[in-house]
Structure 1
Amino acid sequence: MTDILLNSPEARDTAFHFHGYTNAREHEQNGPMIMDCGKGIRVFDNTGKSYIEAMAGLWSVALGFDEVRLADAAYAQMRKLPFYHSFSHKSHGPVIDLAEKLISLAPAPMSKVFFTNSGSEANDTIIKMVWYRSNAMGKPEKKKIISRLRGYHGVTALSASLTGLPNNHRSFDLPFEGIKHTTCPHFWRNGTDGETEEQFATRCAEDLDTMIQQEGPDTVAAFIAEPIMGAGGVVVPPATYWEKIQAVLSRYDILLIADEVICGFGRTGQMFGSQTYDIQPDIITMSKQITSSYIPFSAFMINDRVYEPVADESNRIGVLGHGFTGGAHPVGAAVALETIKIIEERDLVANAAETGAYMMDKLNTLKGHALVGEVRGKGLLAAVEMVAPQGREAEFGAGTLGGRMNVIMTEKGLISRNMIDALAFCPPLIITPAEVDEMVDILTASLDQLAAEL
């Protein structure tokens, strides 16, 4: 029996695998849930139990878990040219085709695409490019970056500094100097009594303006934000927010970076979240759904306003001293091209809008539940914010209800993710109304079970 236990995949994972976003000591005690295979919107663990993957893995598996065309695209490219880089004027067909395709899809005029391996790497590189640009323009003091509280932009040292979540900073000696965080645009949580959404949006813009003035407009290079906040709780911007924020940035000649890692490639019911909210960014970050996460891949687009000074500086120095071995990987580029082709062929952006509206209608039926404080979302991206039973708020610490709900939902065959007490729902873009019904039925039964237990 001991030999069997020691040879189990759970025991070997605990013995050898150091997990991200996990309590290491708790993992030593409890071990992992091991996924074995997937089909459509479902995954199956190594006991054969089925789960609806309501988070599309990590906001990312757009096409579900068994899209053969992506596997075929990867295999064909591996057979033809399994690797090449883009250093020293080198290139290859898939990345040229992909760069051209992305520029054609861009929600605002863009000039060039730079390829990386993850959203974190992309945002890290973007900040280096912004600094490089400031130096090229003879403005070495213009280096500060403003992000938002509860924003999520990655976990490398620079991108984690941009992220506005405390646990991404604690014990890492972050954030770096020069990274600032302004107001989170969550009206339900941060709005004041009697304040309308538009008034709250005005206050957010005024807070940003005040921060820029306090820091010195000549020292602020860029503002980075997700069209809809993802890991910070699926925070949907209040009415007029983006119009007012962009007016502030324009006033002070500050670059706008749209982090489309979660929102991009159809999630909000448009190809990019920037289109959903009429955002005109200078830089756009992309990852996750760009390959349906079948292979690690990411990119960012820049407009001429960004590109021209950077290109001039690389000419002055003789090289742009930045790049990644796996950046512009031909297999990743081939899979990305096939992913975009499938999204377009099957009109999955429209499905995100239509089935997403259906999902929101179904989730909104939960607003009267004793444990539900708010339902929010757009397209196939939503959150259900839990609240303690009335009069018992002091009994439950932050994240207690969300954590308990996660356990119950998982037992019932639904995988979500609690961000403190907000339950996220970000299913694959291929989800059908019938599958939405099944997902919401499990969520409702889980809420009722927890309410009964309390």
Structure 2
Amino acid sequence: MSNATDTLYARDITHHLHSYTDARMHEGVGPLAIERGDGVFVYDTEGRRYIEAMSGLWSAALGFSEVRLVEAAMTQMRKLPFYHTFTHKTHQPAVDLAEKLISLAPVPMSKVFFTNSGSEANDTVVKMVRYYNNARGLPLKKKVISRIGAYHGVTIAAASLTGLPNNHRAFDLPMMDIAHAMCPHHYRFGEPGESEEAFSDRLAKGLETLIQREGPDTVAAFIGEPLMAAGGVIVPPRGYWQKIQAVCRKYDILLVADEVVCGFGRTGNMFGSTTFGIEPDIMVLSKQLTSSYQPLAAVLINERIYQEIAGQSSTIGTFGHGFTASGHPVAAAVALENIKLIEERHLVEHAAEMGARLRAGLSQYADHPLIGEIRGVGFIAAVELVADKSEKTRFEPLRRVGSYFNARCQEHGMIVRNIGDSIAFCPPLVTTAEEVDLIINCFSKALEDTQRWLAQGH
């Protein structure tokens, strides 16, 4: 380790509290310090190269060195580096982006509200749902149903929607008026001999039972990612979304599609809602919206919701919600250029093609004794590692083997993410066939290392 890197490590440990990190462990191990990016690769401060098979945080659709996004930001910075969208103010990038997102939406949408992150956007959704039902004269209809294993962010409301224990423990979450339905993972929770369609029937019935228990007059919305990403890359079983939608419509429950990860080509269509036949009332977008070159998120609402919100804001005198940087002109300009590039370069179609190549490469190892399930759709996938293949037995303690596998991938020059003992892949949309093959090669080496490590009795 060079002196410069050693100094950076020491400063980081001294002053920086990291997201999703064991702070005490970090004091001892320190960070992997990334210095620069080039295409789908990033380089650490020692010059080591890593293929970024997670797009950073499911988000760098165009990789880490797209000059046109940098130029879009610089041009807008020179023209108007900041302005807000409060109290009847606007600017060209926000207007253009809102118009573009409405035109791309897979179902008719009416208005766009901008935030800075998916967490803020989902927090906004919870508030909007309350505002909407108060406007309708339904003050009891406030509860939102999410799912066990879901990920929707980290604000108090969004973390409550998230269905992962470590997002709740010691934070006194979830908050009131949030409930969680079953996780739609057929491999893990399907009964012996139960088809995907039958599993979907059982999940829909379970949702209806939950609604009845909570009280239909109190349940306002159901939120779900088209494909659950941070929950383990869980592909919904056949017929799932159609059956869930039917239950929501029956009880006048809004359907919220959290497209933060799935949007802008990740599932092989522009939106995951198209891939899985979802007709949402509300859509939440972020991450690949700007390829994370700028922080930006958007909430799309349909006309029915807008009319109620507009009427309520007229009664009160304002829609009392917003963020200083909502619709930030630089972020909006970058998003417009990002979408333009995705369309120009046919990256949605390219993602579908490269995703098929990735899954085919991973499927070569389907018979390996450590691999329980290989799953994915579009250009997102996961491999679940198991202790006993025939019994689907998990390793104990959970995450130990996945963490080792993750570390071996990094040693071989690839950054992935272990979600428990599932290894997730979410490469940039611009990844080439040769780079997909490199991902498979690194995976193979890490798998061999892990098998050897386990055989040694670890």
Which TM-score applies when normalising by structure 1?
Answer: 0.98
Matched residues, percent identical? 58
Q: 8 Å contact 2:372–2:392 — kept in the other structure?
A: no
Correspondences of 1:362-441 after superposition (within 5 Å): 362-389=361-388, 396-441=396-441
3-state secondary structure, aligned to 1:424 = strand
C-alpha displacement of 1:395: 6.6
Deviation at 1:401, TM superposition (A): 1.1
Question: Could you say if the C-alpha distance between residues 350 and 23 of structure 1 is closer, same or farther in structure 2, counting changes exceeding 3 Å?
Answer: same
Q: 1:217 to 1:173 in 2, by over 3 A?
A: same
Rounded Cα–Cα distance in structure 1 between residues aligned with 2:453 and 2:266: 35
Alpha-carbon distance between aligned partners in 1 of 2:374 and 2:433, rounded to the nearest angstrom: 18
Rounded to whole Å, the distance in 1 between the matches of 2:396 and 2:233 is 22
Q: Deviations over 1:287-312 (max 9, x none)?
A: 00000000111111000121111110
The structural deviation recorded for 1:78 is: 0.3
Deviations 1:229-282 (A, max 9, x none): 000000000000011010100111100000000000000010000000110000
Post-superposition shift, 1:396? 2.9
Question: CA 1:41–1:213 in structure 2 vs 1: closer, same or farther (change >3 Å)?
Answer: same
TM-superposed CA distance for 1:7, in Å, is: 6.9
Which whole-Å CA distance do the structure 2 matches of 1:353 and 1:5 have between them? Answer: 42
Find the counterpart in structure 2 of residue 258 from structure 1: 257
Q: Write out aligned runs for 1:137-152 (5 A).
A: 137-152=136-151
Aligned length: 453
Q: What's the counterpart of residue 27 of structure 2? A: 28
Structure 1 residue 389: Cα displacement: 5.0
Superposition pairs of residues 169-188 of structure 1, within 5 angstroms: 169-188=168-187
Equivalent position of 1:353 in the other structure? 352
8 Å contact from structure 1 (residues 110, 301) kept in 2? yes
Distance 1:77 1:379 in 2: 33
Question: Are the aligned partners of 1:5 and 1:11 in contact in 2 as well (CA < 8 Å)?
Answer: no
- 1:370-404: CA deviations, max 9, x gaps? 11100000011110000125699687311111011
Tell which deviates more after alignment, 218-227 or 433-442: 433-442
Q: Does the 8 A contact of 2:386 with 2:395 survive in 1?
A: no
Contact 1:388-1:401 at 8 Å conserved across structures: no
Task: Report the secondary structure of 1:88's partner residue.
Answer: coil
**For the structure 1 residues 14 and 431, does the alpha-carbon distance in structure 2 shift closer, same or farther, using more than 3 Å as the test?**
same
Counterpart residue number, 1:218: 217
Match of 1:125 in 2: 124
Equivalent in the alignment of 1:450: 450
* Cα contact 2:82–2:329 (8 A) shared by 1: yes
2:273 aligns with: 274
Matches within 5 A, 1:150-299: 150-299=149-298
1:93 and 2:78 aligned: no
CA distance in 2, matches of 1:381, 1:164: 21
75 and 310 in structure 1: CA distance in 2 versus 1, 3 angstrom threshold: same
Q: Is contact 1:284–1:302 with CA below 8 Å preserved after alignment? A: yes
Contact 2:221 2:253 in 1 (8 A): yes
Q: Which amino acid aligns with 2:449?
A: Q
Q: Per the alignment, in what secondary structure is the counterpart of residue 306 of structure 2?
A: helix
Amino acid corresponding to residue 431 of structure 1 in structure 2: T
Distance 1:31 1:368 in 2: 37
Gaps of 5+ in 2: none
Whole-angstrom distance in 2 between the partners of 1:395 and 1:169: 23
- What are the superposed Cα offsets for residues 317-342 of structure 1, whole Å, 9 maximum, x if unpaired? 00011100011100000000000000
Q: Alpha-carbon deviation of 1:188?
A: 0.1
Structure 1 residues 4 and 38 mapped into 2: Cα distance closer, same or farther (>3 Å)?
closer
Report the alpha carbon displacement of residue 117 of structure 1 after superposing the two structures with TM. Answer: 0.2
Once residues 301 and 30 of structure 2 are traced to their aligned partners in structure 1, the CA distance between those partners, rounded to angstroms, is 43
Partner of 1:8, secondary structure, is helix
- Aligned amino acid, residue 116 of structure 2: N
Deviation, 1:30, is 0.9
Structure 2 Cα separation of the partners of residues 438 and 248 of structure 1:
44
Structure 1: segments with no counterpart, 5+ residues: none
Q: Distance in 1 between matches of 2:77 and 2:407?
A: 40
Mean CA deviation greater in 392-401 or 352-361? 392-401
Give the aligned residue type for 2:127.
Answer: K
CA apart distance, 1:411: 0.5
2:165 maps to amino acid: P
1: CA distance between counterparts of 2:418 and 2:59? 16
Check 1:257–1:392 CA distance in 2 against 1; reply closer, same or farther (3 A cut): closer
Q: Relative to structure 1, is the Cα distance of residues 392 and 384 closer, same or farther in structure 2, using a 3 angstrom cutoff?
A: closer
Distance change (3 Å), C-alpha of 1:198 and 1:7: closer
| Distance in 2, Cα, partners of 1:382 & 1:394 | 19
Q: 1:97 to 1:316 in 2, by over 3 A?
A: same
In 2, are the aligned partners of 1:222 and 1:255 still within 8 Å (CA)? Answer: yes
C-alpha distance in structure 2 between counterparts of 1:64 and 1:394, whole Å: 34
In structure 1, distance between residues paired with 2:26 and 2:422: 23
For the 8 Å contact 1:59–1:262, the answer to whether it is kept is: yes
CA shift in 2, pair 1:303/1:5, >3 Å: closer
Give distance in 2, aligned partners of 1:320 and 1:76.
32
* SS of the residue 1:181 aligns to: strand
Contact 1:6–1:12 at 8 Å: present in 2 too? Answer: no
* Cα gap change, 1:389 to 1:447, in 2 (>3 Å): farther
Structure 1 CA distance, aligned partners of 2:229 and 2:335? 22
CA distance in structure 1 between the partners assigned to 2:31 and 2:370 by the alignment: 29
What CA deviation, in whole Å up to 9, does each residue of 1:30-78 have, x standing for no partner? 1111000011111000000000100000000000000000000000000
Distance 1:4 1:400 in 2: 32
Q: CA RMSD of the aligned region, Å?
A: 1.5
What SS does the corresponding residue of 1:108 show, helix, strand or coil? coil
* Structure 2 residue identity aligned to 1:12: R
